[in-house]
Amino acid sequence: MGRTITPEQAAVIKATVPVLAAHGLTITTRFYKDLIGAHPDLRNIFNKTHQATGHQPRALAGALYAYAANIDNLGALSPAVELICAKHASLFIQPEHYELVGVNLLKTIKAVLGDAATDAIMDAWGAAYWQLADIMIDREQELYDSATNWTDWKDFKITRKEKESAEITSFYLEPLDQSFKLPTYKPGQFISVNVFVEELDGGVWQARQYSLSDAPGTNYLRISVKKEAGVLIGEPASMTHPGYISNILHEQRKVGDVVRLSHPFGDFFMDDKEEEKDAPVVLISAGVGLTALISILKSLAKEESKRPITWVHGARDAGVRAFKKETDELVAKNENIHAIRFSTHPNKEEVEGDHYHFKGRADLNKVSTADLHTDNKKTQYFVCGPTKFMLDVESQLQAFGVPSERIKMELFGTGGVQRV
């Protein structure tokens, strides 16, 4: 049974919303610095890039603000909590980590606010923290229970590297323990990849989440990783670049090397309910956002689904577009699958109608309503790509009359999609 706060404590939390708006980022920035300073082992859990860029403190500040503002309506936070719990489970966060965070967060709130942090405020925030922590600990335990015999980092060997485009390479990963049976994950979910980075802080483990990019039921797990340009491994100025770990995978990890993986997790997946098995599916992506959606597409084809499926993808040009051969083969073999491609800046070798269908950024206004299946009240929409792209697609679909509950978006990074 989780702990709960009293109505009086909830009122105090509500009253601190303006304080969090004014001082939240100051609190969270200092909190992470002090926490990691006091507990250096946590460097192996926290994303070094998100710390250096301030992304993680901003996300926590936003989360605290949202929690305080919705303290009497926690149901509104359920999607965000589910996202965070899935991320935590992929990093094997444990109850003792919540203890460390709680103690240090309250200490930082007191230090930053000083005399303004009265006993009543500190008591209320202590109770509020543990109310939320208990909810998350319980949910994460459910996720660990579902993972059965995979509740810690597991060694996998890179058995194949395949270049999918000028920027994206697929890694085929098989368990080092050949007797280990891979779980059946849900198409669209991700794994965490944990690598040791010698150049960071004298050596530190860093984990990154990558969508699984193949259908379940194989003897391997496949991830398809985009290599960011301009990152130099070992160069101090590059070490906190968002693409640093992806560059290590591309440049330093070879076939035969071992990496550590988490169990698949994530709330972005194809949930094939019986009553929706005939519903059209529209998969809309830009750039490397197609990795989660290719898993859904290949899974539907593997099941020999007859439901109408539309694949919409936007890329800069044909050179950076991954999985064209795979999707072309699926279209040729399955008359219910239709692919539509956008090229922002087609190169001179690209042929309209083959390499791309529309010039420019992905724009659903250029796609026929028949391909978008907006007239079917059961159509499921899956959207993945940069934040602005996803929000633009969501707005376009809503303008076509599609309700929000039928639009599923992959929320990359700490804090998910920002709507303000």
Which tokens in the block code for residue 281?
């599916």
Q: Is 185 among the catalytic positions?
A: no
Return the ∠ at Cα 309 (arms to 304 and 311), rounded to 5°. Answer: 120
**Residue from 124, 100, 99 nearest 110 by CA:** 124
Give the three-class secondary structure for 67. helix
Q: Is 140 among the catalytic positions?
A: yes
**Residue from 346, 362, 353 nearest 328 by CA:** 353
CA distance 246 to 244: 5
| Contact of 269 with 200, CB cutoff 8 Å | no
Q: Are strands 190-197 and 204-211 parallel, antiparallel or unpaired?
A: antiparallel
Task: Go through 167-205 and write b for each residue having 16 or more CB atoms within 10 A of its CB, e for each that does not.
Answer: bbbbbbbbbeeeeeebeebbbbbbbbbbbebeebeeebe
**Residue from 172, 184, 199, 151 nearest 259 by CA:** 172
Q: Max alpha carbon distance in the chain (Å)?
A: 70
Q: Which of 32, 98, 144, 381 is catalytic?
A: 98
Which tokens in the block code for residue 386?
């940069």
Angle of helix 119-146 versus helix 7-15 axis, rounded to 10: 100
Within 8 A by CB and 6+ apart from 112, the residues are 23, 26, 27, 30
CB-count burial class (<10 Å; 0-12, 13-18, 19+) for 156: buried
CB neighbours of residue 121 within 10 Å: 19
Give the three-class secondary structure for 165. coil
DSSP states along 348-377: TT--BTTTBSEESS--GGGS-HHHHTTT-T
Give residue 244's Cα distance to chain centre.
17
Beta-bridged to residue 204, according to DSSP, are 197
Q: Which of 67, 140, 172, 410 is catalytic?
A: 140
Give the three-class secondary structure for 77. helix
Residues marked as catalytic: 98, 140
